[in-house]
Structure 1
Amino acid sequence: MRVLQALFFPPEQPGGVSSMVPFMLDRFNKRGWEMELFSLPKRIRGKGTEEVRFSTFDWTVYAGNPIVDKYIQTYKDYVWWTKLRIQKSFDLIHAHHPIAGLVMKQVLPETPLIMTVHSSYEKELILNGKIAENGPEHAFLTSIYRELEERADQLITVSNSFKHYMADYLQEPERVGVIPNGFDEKRFRPVQHENKVPQLISVCRLVPAKGLDTLLYACAELKQKGHKFVLHLIGDGPIRQELEELAVKLDIYEETIFYGYILHPEDFMPFFDVFVLPSRAESFGSVFAEAALCGLAVVGTDVGGIGEQIEHGTNGLLVPVDDVPALAAALEKVIGDPMYRYQLSRIALEKALKAYSMTRVVQQLRAVYRSYKKE
C-alpha cells in the first residue's frame, strides 16, 4: 500500500508535527509499507498562480486582509509544487496541515485523503495579537474546517478538547476521530541525576500564546520567598527581547538562561528536574509528553490537550491560565519536595510510554489506513 505523508513544513523545521511524522514514516517503512514524505520547501514563494476555489464558502469576501492573502498565495504555491513534483499515484494520502490536505485532494481527487488537524492557527494568531477575534481573518480560518470536512475522507485530530473546539464549525463533528500524537521512545532516555539547585526548563516558540511572561512573574515570586532555582528557556521567537527585559526588571535574569533555538532539546532535557509551560492554548501540547518521556515532573495550564495528558496531583500539576500565584505555588511544591517531584515524574513517564508511544500511533493509524485498502 503506497501512502503519501503530506506536511506543510519541511521535516527539518522545528515543531512537534514535522519532527514526529518522519519517525512515524520510518516505523511504517521498516514494517514493509511504502511511504513517502512531501512538503513545501521554504524557498518556494510566489510561484503559484492558479485560481483558488473552495466548495463550502467564498474566500474572496475576505481578500485584502494580509493573513488571508498570504494563506491563499501559499495554497497556490503548494498547488504549483505538488503538480511539479508528484508524478506517481498513491493508494492513500495522509495530510498534516489544512493547505496540504486541500491541495492534495484538488490535485489527486480520486485518492482517499485522511486529514489530521494538529492545531488551531487562528487561536494562535489571536493570542499572539496578530488578528482580532471574530474578525475577517478569524472567519476565514475557521471556515477552513468545514471545507476540510467536505473534502477529506476522514478527519482526525489530536485531542478530545480540540475535537470539541472544531465541532462549532462542522456539520458532523461526531465523525471526527481522535488519535493523540506519538513519540519515538528510543529518542528519550531518562537519566538518574541529582541537582543541588532545582533546574526548571521550558521549550517552546517565544510568542505570547505560550504564557512565558506568567512563568517569569511566578519565578520572581519564588526568588522573593528565598527559593533557589535555575530556569532554562529553549526556543526563539519575536518576544525574546521583551522576555529578557522582563527577566531583568523582575531581578531573575541571573537565574534565567535564554538558549535560543536548539534542534534536539530532548538530548539534554533528562538532566533537568521540572518542565513548566503555562500555555494560553494548546491543541495537544507535544512537548509535555516529550518532557514526561525524559523523566521530568511536568507543570502546565489546564487548557486543551494539556489537561488530557496531566491528571492533577498524579502525574503532574495543572494551574489556571495567567494565574501567577497558582503557578508559583505549584513550582514551589515540586522544587521543595524532591520525593514528590520524583513520584510525579515516575507516573508521568509510565503514562507517556503507554499512551504516547510511537508504537501505539502506528497501530492506530495502520487500522485506519487498511480501511482504505483496495481489494
Structure 2
Amino acid sequence: MNRNVCFFNSNKAWGGGEKWNHHFSLLLRDQGYNVFVVTNHKSELKDRLENEPGITLHSEPIGNLSFLNPILMGRLKSFFKTNNIQTLITALPSDLKSGGIAAKRAEVNRVIYRRGIAVPVKNSLLNRYIFKNVVDRLIVNSLETKRTVLANNADLIDESKIRQIYNGFDVAEFDKQDFSPLYTPKKDEVVIGNAARLTAQKGQKHLIKTAKLLKEKGLNFKILIAGKGEMEQELKDYAAKLDVNNHVSFLGFIENMKSFHASQDIFCLPSLWEGFGYALVEAMTLEKPVVGFDISSNPEVVADGETGILVPVEDTEKLAAALEKLILDVKLRKKMGAAGRQRVLENFNTPLVLQKLIEVIEE
C-alpha cells in the first residue's frame, strides 16, 4: 500500500484548492497514512497545518519557474527520497512542474495532478511533455473541468489516466457547526443569497439587474451578497444606478457560511463559469433551492427542476423568472431544498469522495 502521501501546494493565499488540500491531508492522516505537505514559505495552508499532529511540513520559495532552479529542485528530490514519498498530489500548474518533475527524479511511484479550475491547458511543448511523462493520474473536479483541460489538445493526456472526483463536502461536520442567522427578514420578505468573489466571472451584475426586474413586479424580496473582490464598488454603484439599494445588501466577507445560508430562502449563483460550485453544495446541504446559469459544471451539481432551476447563461429575464417562481411558491422551495440535500448526500458527501481518492492512490 502507498502509505507515504505528499500534498504539494505552493499557493500563498487561501482558497478552494487550499481548503481541499487541508481537509484531505487531515482525512488521509486519520486513515493511517503518513502525510507530508509541501508549501510556500509564506502560506495560509502552512499556517493552518503548523500544529497538526501527524502532518510533516516542508516549505520552499516556489514560483512558476522553480523547475529551472537546480538547487531548489535538488532539495525537493532529496525531501521526496529521504521520506520515501510514494504518492505526490499536486495542486497548481507551477507545482506540477517543480514538484512533479522532482518527484519523477526521486522515483516517486505516482504523481497525481488535481485540476480544480475549468480553464483550458495551454498546448505548449512543456505541457505536452509533463502530461505525457510526469502525470500518472489527472483528477478533475467535474466533467466540465475535464472537457476544458482537453479543449486545446484532445490528446494531451491518455484518457485512462483521468479520474473524475467531485470536491467533496463534509455534511456531518457542516451539520455540527453552530450558526445564527445574519439577517431578520421583514414580514413575508423572501431572502435571496449570493456568496462569491465580487468579480465578473461570478456574475453579480446579472443578479443586481434581476433585482430591478423583481422590484418592477412588486415582489417582496431581499438580496444578500456575501464576498469581497475588485468589483465591489462597481457593483454598489450599479445597484444605486438601478435604484435597488433597498433590495440589495452587500455583507462583505462572511466567516460563518452556515449562518449566511441559514439567513436565506433561495440561493442564486449567476456565475459565467464554474469548476465546481462549492457554494451551491453548501446551500443545498441546508435545504435551500438554488438558481443559476446552465453552464459548465452547474448541471452536474444542480438537478434542474428538482433541486433548483438553471436558465440560459446571461439571460437575466429568465433568471428573474426562475427567482419569481420560487419567491411565490414556498412549497416548491421546500420540495427542491429537501431534494438538494439528498443529492449532496448521494453525490458529494466527503466519505464518498475520500474513498474515491484512496482508490486513485492505491490503484
- TM-score > 0.5, shorter chain as reference: yes
Tell me how far apart the structure 1 counterparts of residues 89 and 15 of structure 2 sit (CA, whole Å). Answer: 18
CA-to-partner distance for each residue in 1:338-365, whole Å, 9 max, x for gaps? 1101111100000101210110111111
Instruction: Name 2:17's counterpart in structure 1.
Output: 17
What SS is found at the alignment partner of 2:239?
A: helix
Assess if the C-alpha contact under 8 Å between 2:211 and 2:248 holds in 1: no
Shift of 1:282: 1.0
SS of the counterpart of 1:318?
Answer: strand
Residue identity (%): 25
Aligned residues: 329
Asked if the contact 2:211–2:247 (Cα under 8 Å) also holds between the matched residues in 1, the reply is: no
Secondary structure class of the residue paired with 2:283? helix
- State the distance in 2 between where 1:77 and 1:220 align: 55
- Structure 2 residue 170 is matched with structure 1 residue 187: no
For residue 17 of structure 1, give the secondary structure of its aligned residue in structure 2. helix
Alignment deviations for residues 118-171 of structure 1 (CA, whole Å, 9 cap, x no partner): 10356xxxxxxxxxxxxxxx8578974773344211112111122122223241
- Which of 240, 243, 255 is the matching residue for 1:251? 243
Alignment map for 1:44-83 (pairs within 5 Å): 72-73=64-65, 80=72, 83=75
Aligned-partner Cα distance in 2 for 1:192–1:350: 23
Matches within 5 A, 1:1-375: 1-10=3-12, 13-42=13-42, 72-73=64-65, 80=72, 83=75, 86=79, 88-109=83-104, 110-111=107-108, 112-121=110-119, 139=122, 144=127, 147-168=130-151, 169-171=153-155, 172-175=157-160, 176-189=162-175, 196-371=188-363
Within 2, Cα distance between the matches of 1:2 and 1:80?
22
Instruction: Give, in angstroms, the shift of residue 259 of structure 1.
Output: 2.0
Structure 2 CA distance for aligned equivalents of residues 335 and 177 of structure 1: 39
The 1:74–1:298 alpha-carbon spacing in structure 2 relative to 1, beyond 3 Å, is: farther
* Equivalent-residue separation in structure 2 for 1:143 and 1:224 (angstroms): 54
Q: CA contact under 8 A between 1:78 and 1:100: conserved in structure 2?
A: no
State the Cα distance separating 1:333 from its structure 2 match: 0.8
The CA distance in 2 between the partners of 1:105 and 1:226, in whole Å, is: 57
The question of whether the paired residues in 1 share the 8 Å contact of 2:287 and 2:339 is answered with no
User: Which residue of 2 is the match for residue 126 of structure 1?
Assistant: none
SS at match of 1:114: strand
Amino acid aligned to 2:254: I
Q: Is the 8 A contact 2:5 2:88 kept in 1?
A: yes
Quote how far apart the aligned CAs of 1:324 are. 0.7
Cα offsets for 1:36-81 (capped at 9, x unmatched): 333224579xxxxxxxxxxxxxxxxxxxxxxxxx974576699949
* CA RMSD, Structure 1 to Structure 2 (Å): 3.0
Contact 1:6–1:38 (8 Å) recurs in 2: yes
SS, match of residue 268 in structure 1: helix
One-letter amino acid of the structure 2 residue matched with residue 120 of structure 1: A
List 4+ stretches of structure 1 deviating above 6 A: 74-79, 140-143, 190-194
Measured in 2, the distance between the counterparts of 1:229 and 1:75 equals 53
Query: In the superposition, relative to structure 1, how do residues 214 and 76 fare at CA in structure 2: closer, same or farther (>3 Å)?
Result: farther
CA distance in 2, matches of 1:106, 1:249: 52
The runs of 5 or more residues in structure 1 that have no matched partner are: 45-69, 123-137
> For 2:101 and 2:203, how far apart are their aligned partners in 1?
38
